[in-house]
Structure formats: C-alpha cells, structure tokens
Structure 1
Amino acid sequence: MGILKLRKNKKFSYTPRYFDDKGEGNPFEIKHKFDDFRKTVGNNSGLKNKLNNALDDFKTNRNKEADRRVLIIALVLVFIFLFIIDFDLSIFFSK
C-alpha cells in the first residue's frame, strides 16, 4: 500500500435479473410501457408543438369514464370551496 498510489475501483460483471437475453434495448433504461403509443412523450421542441401534440393525443385517446370522474371530482371540490367561503347559492334560484 503505497502513499502516492491510488486504489483502483473494483469491476463487477453485473447482469440484471430480469434482463431480456436477446439484447433488446438498454437494461438500465426506465421506460413506461405506453411510451411507444403516445406522441407527447419524447423530444418536443417549442410550446406550440407540445400543445398540438397534447391535443392530438387527447382527441385520439378518449376515455369517457375518466372524463366523467374528473368532472364529478372537480364539481365536488368547487362546492366544498363555496361552502367553506360561505357563498350564498340562493342568487342562482328565483323565488
């Protein structure tokens, strides 16, 4: 053990447990399973391009059940907020 010599790093021959033996792709890359089907994932340049890709993705992948669920949750949250600030809902109803 010399004073001026640096210690060398150890090298290991590590192979991931669930790595595909065919050699497809990088085993250390984390990728979502639906990335291949979306246009919004990837290298988008510019705000207009990102917005257009997001709108196209929204139009082609409609999920009416999820849209309805989001709408109901939003309405419940709005009514809870109106209740907390003591908003008078009687202005919307005629006598």
Structure 2
Amino acid sequence: MGLLKTRKNKKFSYTPRYYDNKGAEGSPFEIKHKFDEYRKTVGANKGLKGKFNDAWDDFKNNPDREVNRRILIIIAILVLIFLFIIDFDLSIFFSK
C-alpha cells in the first residue's frame, strides 16, 4: 500500500449498444483538452523529476522566445520582492 502514490483508475472494455466505431475519430468517452496533443506535460503520472524535465523541455523548445523572456522577467521580479520582504542585504553583490 503506497502512501504517497495515487491510484490508477480502473479501465473497463465497455462499448455502447448503438455506438458506430467506423465514423468516429476515437472513443466517445475520451475527454481531451484541445492543447493535449501539443504538450508533453499532460499524460501519465510521473515523478517530480519527470514532470520538471518535461516542463523544462517545453520551456526550451518553445518557438515563441518572447514568452520565455517574459517568464524570466516575472521570476526575477518575484525573487527581488521576496528578498526585499525578508530584508536581505543586496550590497554584498556590489563592490565599492
């Protein structure tokens, strides 16, 4: 019994009585987000390292570099606000 692992959902091989599989593009019970096919981070539950690696790959392989720059600026501003809140002395980074 894993305390930290999530349970997998049970899968059944149920097909509806009047379901015609020939004209459909997939399972009628499959719920997909419209961007799932473009992301790596969606899918089976992975460990923390796997999630971080997938997110980092998405960040590095993003064709829109402006979004990456904006994210880095937001992170830098949040770090500076955090350092200001904890009253960190920034003068150690500057020489006189």
TM normalised by structure 1 equals: 0.50
TM normalised by structure 2 equals: 0.49
| Structure whose alpha-carbon radius of gyration is higher | 1
